[in-house]
Amino acid sequence: MNWDETGPDTDERPHLDDPLDDRLVDAGADGEDTAVEAALRPKDLDEFVGQEKVREQLDLVLKAARARGATADHVLLSGAPGLGKTTLSMIIAAEMNAPIRITSGPAIQHAGDLAAILSSLQEGEVLFLDEIHRMSRPAEEMLYMAMEDFRVDVIVGKGPGATAIPLELPPFTLVGATTRAGLLPPPLRDRFGFTGHMEFYSPVELERVIHRSARLLDVEIDVVGAAEIAGRSRGTPRIANRLLRRVRDYAQVKADGRIDRDIAAAALRVYEVDARGLDRLDRAVLGALLKLFGGGPVGLSTLAVAVGEERETVEEVAEPFLVREGLLARTPRGRVATPAAWAHLGLVPPPHGGKGQQGLFGA
């Protein structure tokens, strides 16, 4: 089965292990890191940095619901990982003075799984459903009625003797989060009263995130040190906070604990995060594309084999950032490096400009 940009012609969806687990710039947190990330989360909209338009719109939705004494409308948050979707869901619950229950699409593979969760909700409770695009189809169809009419039909029995028993639900707020909004069927998207798209952060916004986190972590950092980390954080607060913690470790072991530009740059060299935010995997992909394939075009599977990674890892982890940075292009013939990629790795393109690139970038 070919999971390329267009996806397959079936309703089946890939359920992959998280390919980010071994990456500093976007690794899965556990143990102490999980506790630290929780401590760094903003507690209200005023404290939340960035996403000005989404914050303004969401603030109106929540204030209006509180004024009416009603449950807030369902909310859909879309955007890349690490931009604050989970944090905003917790803020929604706090602003509405309601409990929150957290689950994810991959955990709900049967309609019965969803029915069990919905039937145990309290009135006004916030249900945060991460990776909502990875729910099973039967669960999605049950969710339609739950969101619109606050009831579900539980099927008892099988075949001609099956009976649908309606189960009334208390009013609740569903907060769905997705990194791939295009995979959500229109009937599901249309049932959300508010949809907010999370944008990547600017370096200035990330500097504010880093200074705030440094205060909470009791770390001394100057303006240029924060700017150095922000510039390598790929527009993502989660990555900025993780890089800050690793630079803090370096500063405590190799220096006096204070972070300036030189300390930040030295620490991130140790962790193989370059000045543009590329890590080992990103540079491996670009290096193979340039050195082995003359800049492309080359197929995704071939490129993945060349760097010793799974196809999905290259496509889902490395490519989005490389494309966004203008270092790689996806074409019908395969992946192609841009002139900026050659310059970033300090390589000289071949005289012909790489296989098939003349029509894309000129001779």
Same domain, 64 and 190: yes
Among residues 86, 178, 236, 313, the one annotated as catalytic is 86
82 is in an annotated binding site: yes
Angle, in degrees to the nearest 10, between helices 223-230 and 237-254 = 130
Q: Give the pTM.
A: 0.79
Q: 342 is in which domain, residue-wise? A: 280-361
Q: Do 64 and 184 lie in a common domain?
A: yes
Separation of alpha carbons 24 and 240, rounded Å: 11
Q: Are residues 123 and 182 in the same domain?
A: yes
Verify that 99 and 117 share a domain, yes or no. yes
Q: Residue 333, class by beta-carbon neighbours within 10 Å (0-12 exposed, 13-18 middle, 19+ buried)?
A: middle
Active site residue 179: yes
Q: Is 34 annotated as a binding residue?
A: no
Last residue of a domain, which of 242, 270, 298? 270
228 in a structural domain:
yes
238 annotated as a binding-site residue? yes
Q: How far apart are CA 298 and CA 306, in angstroms?
A: 11
312 and 266 share one domain: no
Dihedral sign, CA of 95, 100, 102, 105?
negative
Straight-line distance from the first to the last Cα atom of the chain, in angstroms, rounded to the nearest whole number = 36
Domain end residue (candidates: 270, 296, 318): 270
Same domain, yes or no: 290 and 169: no
Of these residues, 13, 23, 55, 85, which one is catalytic?
A: 85
Residue type, 265: A
Do the annotations mark residue 330 as ligand-binding?
yes
Q: Which of 23, 26, 71, 130 is catalytic?
A: 130
- 149 in a labelled binding site: yes
**81 lies in some domain:** yes
Kindly state whether residues 65 and 186 are assigned to the same domain: yes
Q: Is residue 355 part of a domain?
A: yes
Question: Interior CA angle at 20 toward 18 and 25, to 5°?
Answer: 160
Q: What is the pLDDT of residue 229?
A: 94
CATH code, domain carrying 303? 1.10.10.10
Given 181, 197, 213, the domain boundary residue is 197
Task: Confirm whether residue 150 is marked as ligand binding.
Answer: yes
Q: Identify the CATH number of the domain in which residue 266 sits.
A: 1.10.8.60
Is residue 254 among the annotated active site residues?
A: no
Q: What Cα–Cα distance (Å) separates residue 239 from each residue in 113, 137, 140, 234, 253?
A: 33, 33, 31, 7, 21
Residue 66: inside a domain:
yes
232 has binding-site annotation: no
Each residue's pLDDT tens digit in the chain (363 positions)?
333 333 333 333 333 344 444 455 555 445 556 666 777 888 888 889 889 999 999 999 999 999 999 999 999 999 988 898 999 999 999 999 999 999 988 888 888 888 888 888 889 999 999 999 888 888 888 888 888 888 877 766 566 666 767 788 889 999 999 988 888 888 888 889 999 999 999 999 999 999 999 999 899 999 999 999 999 999 999 999 999 999 999 999 988 889 999 999 999 999 989 888 898 888 999 999 998 988 889 998 898 999 888 888 888 888 888 998 889 988 888 899 999 989 998 888 877 655 544 444 433
Are 40 and 141 in contact by the 8 Å Cβ rule? The answer is no
Which residue's structure tokens are 């359920």? 15
Q: What is the CATH number of the domain that holds 84?
A: 3.40.50.300
What pLDDT, in 10s, does the model give residues 118-160? 888 889 999 999 999 888 888 888 888 888 888 877 766 566 6
Examine the domain organization and report whether 242 and 345 are in the same domain.
no
Of the residues 232, 238, 242, 245, which is catalytic?
238
Helix (H) or strand (E) holding 226: helix 223-230
Q: Is 234 a catalytic residue?
A: no
Is residue 45 domain-resident?
A: no
Whether residue 98 lies inside any domain: the answer is yes
Closest CA to 193 of 177, 173, 179, 178: 173
Please report whether residue 320 resides in a domain: yes
CA-CA-CA-CA torsion sign (301, 304, 305, 309): negative
pLDDT at 253: 92
Residues 266 and 182 in one domain: no
Report whether 87 belongs to an annotated binding site.
yes
Q: What was the pLDDT predicted at 9?
A: 36
Number of domains in the chain: 3
Q: Is 261 known to be catalytic? A: no
Element (H, E) at 153: strand 151-156
Distances (CA, A) of 306 to 116, 281, 290: 46, 12, 12
Instruction: Tell me whether residue 191 is annotated as binding.
Output: yes
Catalytic residue among 179, 236, 313, 338: 179
Q: Are residues 68 and 163 in the same domain?
A: yes
Q: Count of CB atoms within 10 A of residue 291's CB? A: 12
Q: Is 158 a catalytic residue?
A: no
Q: Which helix (H) or strand (E) holds 173?
A: strand 173-178
3-state secondary structure of 5: coil
Residues with Cβ < 8 Å from 80, sequence gap 6 or more?
A: 179, 198, 200, 236, 320
- For 43, other C-beta atoms within 10 Å of its C-beta total 12
My answer on whether 99 and 183 are in the same domain is yes
For residue 118, say whether it is annotated as part of any ligand binding site.
Answer: no
**Interior CA angle at 111 toward 188 and 115, to 5°?**
95
287 and 351 co-located in one domain: yes
- Sign, CA dihedral 316-108-122-162, equals positive
Does residue 247 fall inside a structural domain?
A: yes
- Preceding omega of 297 cis (within 30 degrees of 0): yes
